[in-house]
Every structure is written in structure tokens, then in C-alpha cells.
Amino acid sequence: MTAPTSAGSAATRAPIEYAEAPAEVRAVYDDIMNTRGTDWVNNYWKVLAHDPPTLRRMWAAARQVMGPGALDPLTKELIYIAVSVTNACRYCIASHSAAARNKGMTAEQFSELVAIIGLANETNRHAVALDLTVDEQFR
Amino acid sequence: MTAPTSAGSAATRAPIEYAEAPAEVRAVYDDIMNTRGTDWVNNYWKVLAHDPPTLRRMWAAARQVMGPGALDPLTKELIYIAVSVTNACRYCIASHSAAARNKGMTAEQFSELVAIIGLANETNRHAVALDLTVDEQFR
Amino acid sequence: MTAPTSAGSAATRAPIEYAEAPAEVRAVYDDIMNTRGTDWVNNYWKVLAHDPPTLRRMWAAARQVMGPGALDPLTKELIYIAVSVTNACRYCIASHSAAARNKGMTAEQFSELVAIIGLANETNRHAVALDLTVDEQFR
Amino acid sequence: MTAPTSAGSAATRAPIEYAEAPAEVRAVYDDIMNTRGTDWVNNYWKVLAHDPPTLRRMWAAARQVMGPGALDPLTKELIYIAVSVTNACRYCIASHSAAARNKGMTAEQFSELVAIIGLANETNRHAVALDLTVDEQFR
Amino acid sequence: MTAPTSAGSAATRAPIEYAEAPAEVRAVYDDIMNTRGTDWVNNYWKVLAHDPPTLRRMWAAARQVMGPGALDPLTKELIYIAVSVTNACRYCIASHSAAARNKGMTAEQFSELVAIIGLANETNRHAVALDLTVDEQFR
Amino acid sequence: MTAPTSAGSAATRAPIEYAEAPAEVRAVYDDIMNTRGTDWVNNYWKVLAHDPPTLRRMWAAARQVMGPGALDPLTKELIYIAVSVTNACRYCIASHSAAARNKGMTAEQFSELVAIIGLANETNRHAVALDLTVDEQFR
């Protein structure tokens, strides 16, 4: 059991390690490690573990959305990084850059990714500032 | 020559058509159509044409960043859409969705793209709300 | 008196015209028109008028912040537009572009403004993606 | 008096302590501590104190908006946190989480808050990506 | 069956009505209407229906997160609106304002909500611009 | 030559110093220092140097957009800061605040800048929450 904690305090946001985790949390940790073929779980899941229903729901969502499908696994990580950079989420950039490296991202691909993210953020603002009408051909 | 216009008014933001464009602008339009193998230019460039140095600079940037490289052309468009959705730029989503379709995006890939963009925006906020520490393994 | 309305519905968001406005609202409208030397009030204030204390507070804030000071009036409007474009606020871009034109913004200045906003949004994302350390010289 | 400082430097952003504050600043600090029933003032106000008119205006605004009204005090803090997480403002999340705890936020409420913030950010992007039309029933 | 469609085109984003929906989609629509006690389904779900696994996952998430819990239903909607306004998601603001009205939001509560959202966005930027250090008391 | 590095890792994001930089990178560094009249280059450029084509393109863009034009140099920096604060980009705020100080920004101007950025972010959200119609006079 997790000890009673003060909402939103450092305690509520401390990672729950496997050794101290209740069975329902360990079950999710086990599935994360099995799916990934690793022997550790990252802080996102260990902090979310203070709320087991959300932990279970988010892991099921991540497994469904980021798993095998019509887009290849590396492309999925690059899309994830593009969102995380645009939102300035430092943790998310670090974790998904590591995932992308594990899936084969090269230094050249990383450089192109950063350049595209930058350019898209630039032209997005041009389009808004100039109040562009969507071309008939794009509809 | 473009007629004198009131800054930031509807006039400054009206598309400049090929027939009325000065030579330096036509040169960029021609290069856009040649590079894309199309016979028309979309509003982004036709509105940017009020400022020829920016038109030239942005087209050179787009050609360099979105052209052949270490990432395939469709992946580049998906990254662009991910940024544009996160920034809520309607024009940019429409134009780059059309480009992605031209480069072969299927309905299944589009659905997965939307799902990843949504999930990343969700977990980005969890990470921020919970003030997560970057795991040693990600550095 | 404003009629009873359903919260957040079209009715709550309808502009309150001078003729139908209560005295405390008219007093603010009068001050807006006197300060600006105009004979009309824009929708922002006419919709905020459903909440007179907020109307009064926001007008006092706008008058203090956007009034005479260490930055000239046109520069203040350009800063306002830069924020509004970055937030994709269509109403705010339209209203403050009109204000900037009234204060002398030229077409060349508008083009430069748009280019700076775009560039800053681009380099902001580069800085975040690359997790840059602040240089000692900048502290 | 505050000493002359270089604009935007570490000096301009250093907290001004009560002992060194001019009378007009102390008056605001006193009102903050009286209103809250505390014996200290947080950094937001102590840094804003370099600009006394803004300090006075912002405290008046906070007292009006966050004070007793139609929404209960805890709900107001939860709304504040939702905005601050979406904007990735670390200071604001910390300060308003502390305020929410003082007003009784439980660990369960904090978990639900985080889950709602995440979900809303996810569905917001779905709605934008899919360019949804507002249903007639919602108008 | 949904007809083959071009990815991300108007066709992929057209609402799928009950009459034309496959059984797995109708099952979700039925659960939405039963849970809400209504006889219609809004566009968010009808467009998401092009991707049944995402439709099922998102409805399960919404039912879990927005259902009965430690926060009352109206507070949950107010938090949702705060996020949606900050992200400038027009559809989401409209749909969750309607939901909040159904759950009893008054015009006074709506006005306070808008005022808090505005103030939080203002002070968020002050905190970032001034690079505030988190007070020891908030940790 | 830069050594082979793992994409997106700390190595890819380490600044490349002048002494270890290839000739094409040194050429850009030299132009940066000459243009600015300084004897050092900040981390933005030294990290971008892992991707020489992007380094060259971004420096050319910065020189064109931030150089002499219709807006004075200090105004350009203030616009840049306004965008960077709204995007919560800590590096960008630090670097452009330093640039603004070098171009003469006073403490009073900095205070007004922060106040305008805050107010614009507040009213932007009011405009979105209240779904304001653009006044005829602003078109």
C-alpha cells in the first residue's frame, strides 16, 4: 500500500518502486517490461502508479496506439517527439528520444526532425498572422 | 509592383496571382510548381509574396527541409501535421494533409497519426503536472 | 438590466449595446470612447459587459498597460500582436492590427513583424528540442 | 528605493524582501499576508515588486478573481492548475497546488484533476485534427 | 461498412450516422446515449467512428475520467473548459460549455470561470518572464 | 569532422567549440562574431553546428530578419521576447533579454514588456472563451 499523502505534494509525485508496489501496480510494471524487453520501468509509470486505474488505462492506450500498425514504430516516435517539443515537455522529449534511438533513429534523422519541427512552428505562425484562406484544392 | 496597401489589412493579406506578380515573385512561383510538378501555387506563398525576401527565404527553407534526406517524404509530412495540430493551425493541417495524401497516406495511417497526436498531448500534460524527473537511463 | 441568460450560451456572449447597457457599463464605454477619440466600442468590451466588475478591471488594466510609458504606443501594439499570433487568437490579431495601423504601422513593418514572429517560434522549438544550456554570458 | 538595475537581468528578477521594500510595496505585502492569514509572501509578488503599479494591479485582480464568489475557493484553484499545467508553468503549478492543498484538495482529487487535464488535452487535439463542426445542439 | 476514403480528406472527417454505422460503432453510440440519458450523439464520436478501436478507447476513458469520483461533475466540466480555452479548441469549448450548463453552471459561475482562465494565463507568463524560483514553502 | 554520435543523445546536443569545428562551421561562427562585434558564439549556434546546412540557413535567416529594416533593433528584440515568453522557452528569453539589454532596454521598458505580455495572454483567452465576432471596423 502507498502511505497516505498530501495531494500534489512531492510525496504524491514520488516514483513507486517495484518492491513497494501493490500487486495491481506490479502487474502493469511486468507487462511494460515484457512488452519492451527491458528490466526497468521509467518514472512516468512509477509516478502514475499513485492512481492505479489511470496507470492501467494509460498503459493500455500506449500499447494500443504505439504498437504495431499502419505506421512503423520509429515514425510513431518521431511524431511523439514533434508534439512534445511543440509543448516544451522536457521529460517527454527525453523519454521518446531514447525510444527513437532504440528503434534506430540516426543523427541525420534527428537533425532533420528538429529542422521540420522548427519550420512547421514558423509557418504555422505565418499562416495565422496572415489569416490564410484554405485553398479549394486542399478540401 | 504591388499597390500601396494598409499594413495588416485584408489588402496586405490578399493572394497575389501569377498574372499580377512581379518577376522576382514569378520566379519563386515557377520553382514551386516545377519542384512539385503542379500548375498552381497555394495561398501561403501567394500571400507571403507581399514580402519577396521572406517569400524567397521561406521557399528555400521548405525545399531544403522537406526535400529528399534521411527521413522519407511521407514521414516528414506526418511530423508537420503533428506540429500543426498541436498549434491548432487550420490552414497548415489542411495543406499538409493534402500533401500527405499525395505522398500515399492511407486512412489507417491518418487514424493512427491522430491517435498518436492525441496521446502525446495527454501524456505531455501528465509529465508536467507530476513534475517528472528525467530517468538516468534516458540521458 | 441584462436579462437572465443561460451560462456560456450564445446569449451570455452577445454584445451589449450602449442603448441597452446599465449605467455602470455606459460609464466604461464612455471612458473607452473618450480615451480613444472614437464613437464606437468593440465587441471585446461589449461582451465582457455581462460581467461589470471584470469589465471595469480589464479596462483599467488596458488603460494602464497600453497607455503612455517607457515604450511607444506602436511598439506596444506590435508586442500584443506577437503574443496573439503565437496563441492563434484571431479576434485579438484583428483588433490589435487595426490599432497598430491607426498608430502608423506600415506594410513593411507588418511584414517584418510577421517574419520575426515566425522566426522566434522556429528557434524556440530548436532550443527546446536541443535542450540548450543558458550561456554564462546571458545570466 | 530599489537600486538602479539592468533590465531583465538577474537583478531585476531578484525578490525584494519586506525589510528592503519601499512603503508602497510593504502596503501590498501587508494586505497579501492579512488576506491569507500567513506571515510570508511568495516570490511572485516579491519579484513583481520591482514594478509597484503592476504589483498593485495584479494583487487587486487576484483578490477580486480568486476571492469569494459563485465558485468555491478549491474549484478556483483547480481551474488555475489546469491552465498552468496546459501552459507548462512550473512555478504556477507549484504555487497553486500548495494553495489547493491548503483549501483541502485530497490525493484522490489531485489524481482526478491530472487525469482530466490530460484527457482534455488529448480530445482537444482530436477535435482540431478532425476539424469538427460544432453540433447544432451545442449552440 | 464505411466506404473506402482518402486519408484526412473531408470524407474521413464526415460524421458517421447511427443508421449507417456498423454494429461495433452502434454499441458505443448506444452506451453514450444510455450513460447521458440523451437520444443523440455529438460529432466528436461520430467522426472518431472512422477508427472503431480509438472510438472504444476514448469513450471508455471519458466515462472513467468524467464519471462519478472525488470531484463533482460540474467541477470536472469547468476544468475541461479551462484546458480547452487555453488550447483555443472551439469545438471543445462549445461541447463542454453545453455539458456544464446541463450540470447547472450559472451565468455568474461562467463569468468567474472566464476571469480565472484569463488571470491564470496572465500570471503564468509573468512567472515565466521573470524566471521565478519556486518558494521553499511550496515544495 | 564531428565524431559519430547517437541521435538526440547528450552527445548530439553538446556545443561544438571553435577549435574543434570544421571549416564550414567556423565560417558561420566568424560571420556571427563579425556581425555582432563579439568574440564568442552562444550555445544555440554551437549546438546547431552538428547540422551545418541548418546552421547556415538559420544564421542567414536571423541576419535577414533581425537586421536593419523598418523596425528598430530594440523593437525586434522585444517582439522576440514576447513570443519566447508565450512559448515558455527559457533559453530564448535569456538570450534575447541579453540582446535587448545590449540594445538599450531599460528596467522600465522591461517592466512594461512583461506587463503587456501578461495582459495579451489574458485577453487572448477572454476572446476565445467568449467566442468573439470580429468587428466590421477591424476588417
Residue E137: its pLDDT value, please? 95
Query: Could you tell me how far CA F78 lies from the centroid of its own chain?
Result: 11
Subunits with 3+ Cβ pairs within 8 Å of F are A, B, C, D, E
pLDDT at A2: 45
pLDDT reported for residue C139 = 85
Integer Cα distance of F71 and B59 in angstroms: 23
Query: What parts of chain D have a pLDDT lower than 70?
Result: 1-4
Q: How far apart are CA E81 and CA E117, in angstroms?
A: 9
Element (H, E) at C59: helix C52-66
Contacts of E90 in chain F (CB under 8 A): 128, 131
pLDDT the model gives residue B1: 40
d(CA B114, CA D128): 10
Assigned C-alpha cell, A110 = 534527428
| Among the listed residues C132, E65, E98, the one whose alpha carbon sits nearest the alpha carbon of residue F43 | C132
The SS3 of residue D56 is helix
In this prediction, residue F2 has a pLDDT band, given cuts at 50, 70 and 90, of very low
Average of per-residue pLDDT values in chain B: 95
Phi/psi for E118 (5° steps) reads -65, -50
Going by the DSSP 8-state scheme, the letter that residue B21 receives in this structure is -
Q: Provide mean pLDDT across the span B22-26.
A: 98
- Name D10's Cβ contacts closer than 8 Å, sequence gap at least 6: C139
From CA C116, how far away is CA C123, in angstroms rounded? 10
DSSP secondary structure of chain A:
-PPP--TTSTTTTS---GGG--HHHHHHHHHHHHHHT-S---HHHHHHTTSHHHHHHHHHHHHHHHSSSSS-HHHHHHHHHHHHHHTT-HHHHHHHHHHHHHTT--HHHHHHHHHHHHHHHHHHHHHHHTTPPPPGGG-
D110·A54 Cβ contact <8 A: no
CA atoms of E96 and E98, how far apart (whole Å): 5
Question: Tens digit of pLDDT for each residue in D81-91?
Answer: 999 999 999 99
**Which chain E residues touch D37 with a CB distance below 8 Å?**
none
Residue E2 is predicted with a pLDDT of: 45
Is the pTM for the entire model greater than 0.90? yes
Mean pLDDT along residues B35-46: 97
Short-list B95, B108, F2, E114, CA closest to A126: B95
Per-residue pLDDT at C1 exceeds 60: no
A43, pLDDT greater than 70: yes
User: Of B95-104, C7-16, C70-79, F119-128, which gets the smallest average pLDDT?
Assistant: C7-16
Examine the pLDDT at E22 and tell me if it is beyond 90: yes
pLDDT at F1 over 50: no
Q: Which residue of chain C comes nearest to B4, CA vs CA?
A: C107
pLDDT at residue A135 greater than cutoff 80: yes
Cell of B112: 493512427
Give the C-alpha separation, F139 to F135, whole Å: 7
pLDDT in tens, F108-118: 999 999 999 99
Cβ separation of E61 and A57 shorter than 8 Å? yes
Measured distance CA(B117)–CA(D131) in Å, rounded? 14
pLDDT the model gives residue A6: 86
Pick from C136, C126, E120, E128: which is nearest to F93 by CA? Answer: E128
**What rounded mean pLDDT belongs to chain E?**
95
Give me the pLDDT at residue A4, please.
Answer: 56
pLDDT value, residue A131: 97
Query: What would the DSSP string read from start to end of chain F?
Result: -PPP--TTSTTTTS---GGG--HHHHHHHHHHHHHHT-S---HHHHHHTTSHHHHHHHHHHHHHHHSSSSS-HHHHHHHHHHHHHHTT-HHHHHHHHHHHHHTT--HHHHHHHHHHHHHHHHHHHHHHHTTPPPPGGG-
Listing DSSP states for C81-130 in one string gives: HHHHHHTT-HHHHHHHHHHHHHTT--HHHHHHHHHHHHHHHHHHHHHHHT
Measure CA of the first residue to CA of the last residue in chain F; give whole Å.
54
Which pLDDT value is given to residue B11?
87
| Distance between CA atoms of residues F107 and E124, nearest Å | 21
What pLDDT is stored for residue D30 in this prediction? 98
CA D2 – CA C133 distance, rounded (Å): 30
Please give the DSSP secondary-structure letter assigned to residue D132: P
User: What is the spatial distance between Cα B117 and Cα A85, in angstroms, rounded to a whole number?
Assistant: 12
Q: Assess whether pLDDT exceeds 80 at residue A3.
A: no
- Does ipTM exceed 0.90? yes
**Whether the Cβ atoms of residue B115 and residue D116 lie closer than 8 Å to each other:** no
Give the C-alpha separation, A105 to A88, whole Å.
21
Residues 6+ apart with CB under 8 A from B108: A69, A70, E7
CB D59 within 8 A of CB D31: yes
Evaluate if residue F87 carries a pLDDT over 60: yes
CB contact under 8 Å between E88 and F117, yes or no, is no
- Preferred mutation among A1, A54, A55 to probe D, highest tally of D CBs within 10 A: A54
- Is E1's pLDDT higher than 70? no
User: Taking a C-beta distance cutoff of 8 angstroms, is the pair C30, C45 a contact?
Assistant: no
With beta carbons under 8 A apart, name residues in chain E contacting F119. 122
Nearest by Cα to A87 from D132, F81, B122, B78: B122
CB contact under 8 A, C97 and B5: no
Nearest CA in chain B to F57: B61
**Closest Cβ opposite residue B83 in set A62, A124, A134:** A124
CA-wise closest residue to A32 among A10, A59, A50: A59
Which candidate from F107, F109, F115 shows the least CB-CB separation from D54? F115
What are the distances in angstroms from CA F64 to CA C10, C111, E100, F40?
Answer: 46, 12, 50, 20
For Cα atoms D52, D56, D62, give the angle at the middle one, nearest 5 degrees. Answer: 140
Chain B residues within 8 A of D93 when measuring between CB atoms: 128-129, 131
CA E66 – CA C72 distance, rounded (Å): 48
pLDDT tens digits, residue range E68-114?
Answer: 999 999 999 999 999 999 999 999 999 999 999 999 999 999 999 99
Instruction: Tell me what pLDDT residue F4 has.
Output: 57
What pLDDT does B6 receive? 86
Contact E77, E105 (CB under 8 A): yes
Average of per-residue pLDDT values in chain A:
95
**DSSP per-residue letters across D6-30:** -TTSTTTTS---GGG--HHHHHHHH
In chain B, residues with a C-beta closer than 8 Å to the C-beta of E8 are 81, 97-98, 100-101, 105, 110
Rounded Cα distance, E62 and A53, in Å: 13
Q: Do C107 and B4 touch (CB under 8 A)?
A: yes
Q: What is the pLDDT of residues E48-74, one digit of tens each?
A: 999 999 999 999 999 999 999 999 999
Nearest CA-CA distance, residue D81 and chain E, Å: 8
Average pLDDT over residues A56-78: 97
| Average pLDDT of the residues in C72-85 | 98
CB contacts of E97 in chain C (<8 Å) are: 7-9
**Of E81, E101, E108, which has the smallest distance from its Cβ to C6's Cβ?**
E101
Residue B77 has pLDDT above 60, yes or no: yes
